[in-house]
Amino acid sequence: MIKFLIITASLITCIYSAKAETVSFTMSAEVERNTSIMLDKDFVLNYIKDLQIYPKFFPNIVSVIKLTDTESEWLYRVEAPLATPYNLTFMLEDKSTGDSLLLESKDKIKDYLYCMGVLSRIKENKTKISFVFKISMTREKASDIHFLAGVLGEKFLSEQMKDKLESDLETFISKASKDMYIASRTSGK
């Protein structure tokens, strides 16, 4: 009987240890926005493919460094309540084709960033842009993200992240659109 209890206790300990090692905490958000720009599609596409507009107009994107024709390093600032802000680095691969911009993290597990813009010509000098922006952070323990993350939970924090990302994308679209119109006037297009 004692051997049975020892074996059972050992087995339960092993199961809980294995389970604890595989548990992780993930915060994620995905937002989509559409807008129309009264400019030629080719001009708009070239504008949104300029990586320097993102740190200039997208809140919390601190910097973007183009490493090669298809790779760039993005520094994103995370500001959480009751915590010191910290930066995440994303290595993005440019998978753009035709009338779209597609930048996606090479690492799809720990920290993931996805930025897509699909353009379609509505009529001459009017272009529709559909933006999709995704971000996720996965850590072994909730406290690796925020000291209250375990209490607040993945769902709540992901909802907060989504609200912030929606606001940031709206800000980006508004500021970049204004700048795009100014750029079109100075370029004569």
Count Cβ atoms below 10 Å from residue 186 Cβ, excluding itself: 8
Least reliable range by pLDDT among 23-27, 28-32, 66-70, 126-130: 23-27
Q: What is the DSSP string of 79-123?
A: --TTS--EEEEEEEEE---TTEEEEEES--SSEEEEEEEEEEEEE
CATH number, residue 179? 3.30.530.20
Confidence of residue 71 (pLDDT cuts 50, 70, 90): very high
For residue 79, the number of C-alpha atoms closer than 13 Å in the C-beta half-sphere is: 7
User: Closest Cα to residue 119, out of 183, 42, 53, 187?
Assistant: 42
Quick one: pLDDT at residue 160? 86
Q: Indicate whether 8 belongs to any domain.
A: no
Q: Indicate whether 6 belongs to any domain.
A: no
Q: Indicate whether 51 belongs to any domain.
A: yes
pLDDT, average across residues 103-125 = 93
Q: Indicate whether 172 belongs to any domain.
A: yes
Beta strands in the chain (DSSP E): 25-37, 61-66, 71-78, 86-94, 100-105, 111-123, 126-139
Number of domains in the chain: 1
Q: Indicate whether 69 belongs to any domain.
A: yes
Per-residue pLDDT reduced to its tens digit, 131-173: 999 999 888 888 877 777 788 888 888 888 899 999 999 999 9
H/E run at residue 185: helix 154-187
pTM, whole model, 2 decimals?
A: 0.80
Q: Indicate whether 14 belongs to any domain.
A: no
> Strand 61-66 and strand 100-105: pairing?
unpaired
Q: Indicate whether 11 belongs to any domain.
A: no
How many residues does this entry show for the chain?
Answer: 189
Cα angle 84-22-27, degrees, rounded to a multiple of 5? 40
Q: Indicate whether 13 belongs to any domain.
A: no
pLDDT at 38 over 80: yes
| Domain that includes residue 155, residue range | 29-187
Q: What angle separates helix 154-187 from helix 41-48, to the nearest 10 degrees?
A: 120
